[in-house]
Amino acid sequence: MRLLLIGDFHSKVPQKLKNKIKKEDFDYVLCVGDLAGNDKLRDLLFKNWEKIKKGNKFSDLIGKRRYDSLNKKTLLSIREPIKFLSNLGKKVILIYGNWDPLETRKGEPSGIKKLIKEKKNIILVHNRKIKIGSYYVLAFSGYRFPIEKKLEKTRNYTLKQIRKINKKWDNRLKKLFKNMENKNLILLTHDPPRNTKFDLVDDKRSPLYKKHIGDEYIRKYILKYKPKYHVFGHMHEHKGKGKLGKTTIINPGTAYKGEAAIFDLSNNKIKWL
């Protein structure tokens, strides 16, 4: 069984990547999210980071009208990646990342869900197990900013709020792995696990430059349950394959840069596109 591993489109699907993928044979697609993107919004976020840390609302800093306009553009930016995934003609297991339009008041992903309504081959997954061949994909959607006690002031959470958020995240992963011991598991998340070569920020523009920003709970459950593979994205600077305990961990690269990977489960080999 061959898998196309892809994600971090940030609204762009380079034609060269489309051409490469057309030449490949694969059975399923695992997408790590971040279909949406907005370079202007990201640059403004980095520029105002210190003020946000001090308690200022981002929308107040850049103006609510501008904030709403940029968010609308971010929502519309998912159209091209959705069209591309739909045209692949294979079943796509899709999770959403930190840039994707997240939740409505009803608790459903907004924007993406509406666009894939008629796309029968795309499955948007929040927290569910999906069987493909002899493997179970544990698809875990979403993004939890690395909230720890030492980072408490980063997002102005109280310690009580931090504990509540972390407990909810922990319970989601615990539920996902329940009764899955000794199975052929592929964990699919947006974030990398904490403290590996894959979660170190190399972008000098980022206020988190040279910090490890992976998820400690994802790391915890990888080490506890030992899934065979973990596929993730988020970190644009760290395409590659490595190990965490007994688990092979894979970042397929950044789609908007023309990167993806074909993973052959029969021989554990990866072809980097």
Splitting the chain (273 residues) into consecutive groups of 10 residues, what average pLDDT does each group show? 95 95 96 86 79 77 83 80 93 87 50 75 91 95 67 60 86 93 92 90 79 89 96 89 96 96 95 95
Residue 104 pLDDT? 45
Strand partners, 251: 240
Could you give the domains of the chain? 2-37+77-272 (3.60.21.10), 39-74 (no CATH)
The confidence score (pLDDT) of residue 175 equals: 94
Residue 103 CB neighbour total at 10 angstroms: 12
The beta strand positions in the chain, using DSSP E, are: 2-6, 28-31, 91-94, 122-124, 127-132, 135-140, 185-189, 229-231, 240-244, 247-251, 261-264, 269-272
Which pLDDT value is given to residue 150? Answer: 54
pLDDT digits (tens, 9 = 90+) for 206-223: 777 788 888 999 999 999
pLDDT of residue 238: 85
Q: What is the DSSP letter of 200?
A: B
Q: Which H helix or E strand runs over 218?
A: helix 216-225
Structure tokens at 15: 């034609």
